[in-house]
Amino acid sequence: MPARLTVYLADRPARVLVLREEEEYVLGRDATSTLVVDDDRVSRRHARLRRGREGWELSDLASKNGTLVNGQPVAGRALLAQRGWLSLGGVLAAFEPLTEEQSRAESSAQSERRRSTIAARRRLAAAHSLDQLGVAMTGEVLKGRSLAVFFAHEKQGHEGREQADSSRKLERFKVH
């Protein structure tokens, strides 16, 4: 049975990973980790998630700040049978088993978001001016503060309260 892991970082959008039964996942700060968790509280190789004979297993990899499952320290390994909360040195993550149908739908949605992001980055790289950027990204002429906010959002790679209007405009401009 596949599963979903959602990692909640304080200063960034949540990261969602669909876990496949046949793969093993290493969570940590190291760039070679399957899921890189860029937070100083997380060790380079903090924890391992894998599907064992009895279900999904979480193992602490001798992390400095520890790993918890539903508030309980992980000594060796812990079975994850139901929905639960994980703590990777204080960084919260939600674990949730998925049906095959939910897994396919989640994977499809992630693929569409990835394609849309790649297309937006290409349009951003091709824009030679702020005016071209607004038209290329939204199909509309953006001016003044809304253009500056939109440009800052694209350059920084994250969304804040002030960029909500520009983000809605970007949602309407999808590449199919």
**C-alpha–C-alpha distance, residues 143 and 153, integer Å:** 15
Higher pLDDT, 5 or 126: 5
**C-alpha–C-alpha distance, residues 76 and 88, integer Å:** 14
**Pair 167, 159: CB distance under 8 Å:** yes
- What pLDDT does 25 receive? 96
pLDDT at 176 over 50: no
Q: What is the pLDDT of residues 93-113, one digit of tens each?
A: 999 998 778 777 777 777 777
Higher pLDDT, 27 or 154: 27
96 forms beta bridges with 4
- What pLDDT does 154 receive? 57
Which of 50, 97, 87 is closest to 65 using CA atoms? Answer: 87
* Residue found by looking up tokens 């309260």 in the block: 161
Global pTM exceeds 0.75: no
pLDDT at 167 over 50: no
- What pLDDT does 99 receive? 77
Q: What is the pLDDT of residues 13-50, one digit of tens each?
A: 888 888 988 999 999 999 999 999 999 999 999 999 99
- What pLDDT does 157 receive? 53
**C-alpha–C-alpha distance, residues 159 and 104, integer Å:** 27
pLDDT at 160 over 90: no
Q: How many helices (H) and strands (E) does the chain have?
A: 4, 11
pLDDT at 171 over 60: no
**Pair 46, 37: CB distance under 8 Å:** yes
Q: What is the pLDDT of residues 115-152, one digit of tens each?
A: 887 887 777 777 665 555 555 555 555 555 555 555 55
